[in-house]
Structure 1
Amino acid sequence: MKRGKKYQDALKSFDKSKQYDPAEAVAIVKKNATAKFDETIEVHIRTGCDGRHADQQIRGAVVLPHGTGKTVRVLVFAKGAKADEAKAAGADYVGAEELIPKIQNDGWLDFDVVVATPDMMSVVGRLGRVLGPKGLMPNPKAGTVTMDVTKAINDIKAGKIEYRLDKANIIHVPVGKASFSEADLADNFQSLMDAIVKARPSTLKGTYLKNITLTSTMGPGVRVNAASFGL
């Protein structure tokens, strides 16, 4: 794949073979995020886990101290008092069974996170084939299946992100925007890594974090030293 001049220039600004401390990596990635839009800063973590085994699955959520820089649209599946609570807490959309055909048949997906009260999971489960592949299914581990819809909505709006293994056992997570200060990006990155280090499966033998790369939407990836996080 042919890369543009900006990308090639960015590659020359650091050593691709070197593993940098988090603060250095953040500074390099931020400096090289020169697109005309506010690029997202992302972390890609290659793990030594085997997600085919249930005891090596990694899934959780963490609230980034400085948010994600993105306005998140929240859909809540709830009824009665819990639906009223969700509306009062600032949910963008609230509903129940009536949303099934809208999502299933009309392809409506104008939301970024789905929260559900436990009693609504039988309804949400019918949307598994639509929401599952897009990573939108509510999950207790991520705090999106809960009776405390106010806390769930507040956390999500404040910058809560979900992390989990993909099919290649890699975790892909945004930690902010290029417009953030280096200090705020570093704080967000550290908070994410603290959560992922704690999530290490007890059954895992060998290396947990094989490779950590920090990158911007349009820029090259910078390798981060896993030892910085006590590993």
Structure 2
Amino acid sequence: MSKRYNESNKKVDSEKLYDIKEALSLAKETATANFSETVEVSVNLGIDTSKNDQQVRGAVVLPKGTGKEVKVIAFAQGEKVKEAEAAGADVVGGEELADKIQGGWFDFDVVVATPDMMSVVGKLGPVLGPKGLMPNPKVGTVTFDVEQAIKDIKAGQVEYRADKGGNIHLPIGKDNFELDDLYENFTTVMETIVKARPAGAKGRYLLNIAVSATMGPGIKIDPQAIIKLLA
């Protein structure tokens, strides 16, 4: 571990369950790198991901944004091309855009597509899939309402998906965000995840919650604080 990390780690009690704002404040304080660090929330859920009815996946718009400029490309045709461009898509296209990506171009963060363009986008599965860039109706990136989808993404929409261990990792802003802005993003994320609880999930749902800056230590948050907050 680096000297900087060890110094930051001394500020955090690894055995303590912190209050939400105290944890977020510590995440800001332990972000000591010479670049703007991302503040991330990690949640471990009490779900059985081997069962299809216990998958937790979706998207949430962070009210205070991500602090990052997101490049969005859109696959559309006809009038939807104008809608996508007006909404702020960085690149809009069809077959020619697919060919460009097949040729190794990946200067974008999110892909949006209208349903009638999925025959074109589907061919890109082998290159977009491994990078987590394949559009999906479950997270709102396959839709005829491309205007709203692009506006949401540009405003701060982030996708979440529980991995095999039931873990979700999501950015909630940058270390230079005001504490109240991080708090608002955090509570919006937690409210969304709690609402996404599968009906088949039994017992405790929120097992462990932590926040951290990119290069900082994890700071545990008391799950009961979330339950009280959202009650």
Amino acid at match of 1:6: R
- Say yes or no: does 1:170 pair with 2:150: no
Deviations, residues 77-135 of structure 1 (Å, cap 9, x unaligned): 1001101111111100111122222212x221111111111111122111111111211
Match of 2:90 among 89, 92, 95: 92
Question: Could you say what secondary structure the match of 2:105 adopts?
Answer: coil
- Say yes or no: does 1:143 pair with 2:140: yes
Equivalent residues, number: 228
- Say yes or no: does 1:122 pair with 2:119: yes
Amino acid at match of 1:60: G
The corresponding residue for 1:209 is 206
TM-aligned CA deviation for residue 52 of structure 1: 2.6
Match of 2:100 among 92, 99, 102: 102
TM-aligned CA deviation for residue 208 of structure 1: 1.6
The corresponding residue for 2:14 is 16
Question: Could you say what secondary structure the match of 2:130 adopts?
Answer: coil
TM-aligned CA deviation for residue 55 of structure 1: 0.7
Question: Could you say what secondary structure the match of 2:95 adopts?
Answer: coil
Question: Could you say what secondary structure the match of 1:86 adopts?
Answer: helix
- Between stretches 160-169 and 25-34, larger displacement belongs to 160-169
TM-aligned CA deviation for residue 171 of structure 1: 0.7
TM superposition outliers: structure 1 runs of 4+ over 3 Å: none
* Distance in 2 of aligned mates of 1:147 and 1:125: 16
Gaps of 5+ in 1: none
Deviations, residues 164-198 of structure 1 (Å, cap 9, x unaligned): 11233211110000010111001100000000000
* Distance in 2 of aligned mates of 1:208 and 1:132: 29
Gaps of 5+ in 2: none
The corresponding residue for 1:222 is 219
TM-aligned CA deviation for residue 207 of structure 1: 2.2
Question: Could you say what secondary structure the match of 1:184 adopts?
Answer: helix
TM-aligned CA deviation for residue 51 of structure 1: 2.3
TM-aligned CA deviation for residue 8 of structure 1: 1.0
The corresponding residue for 1:199 is 196
Deviations, residues 130-161 of structure 1 (Å, cap 9, x unaligned): 11121111111211111111111111111111
Amino acid at match of 1:205: K
TM-aligned CA deviation for residue 210 of structure 1: 1.6
* Distance in 2 of aligned mates of 1:120 and 1:129: 17
The corresponding residue for 1:185 is 182
* Distance in 1 of aligned mates of 2:11 and 2:83: 51
Q: CA RMSD in A?
A: 1.2
Amino acid at match of 1:207: R
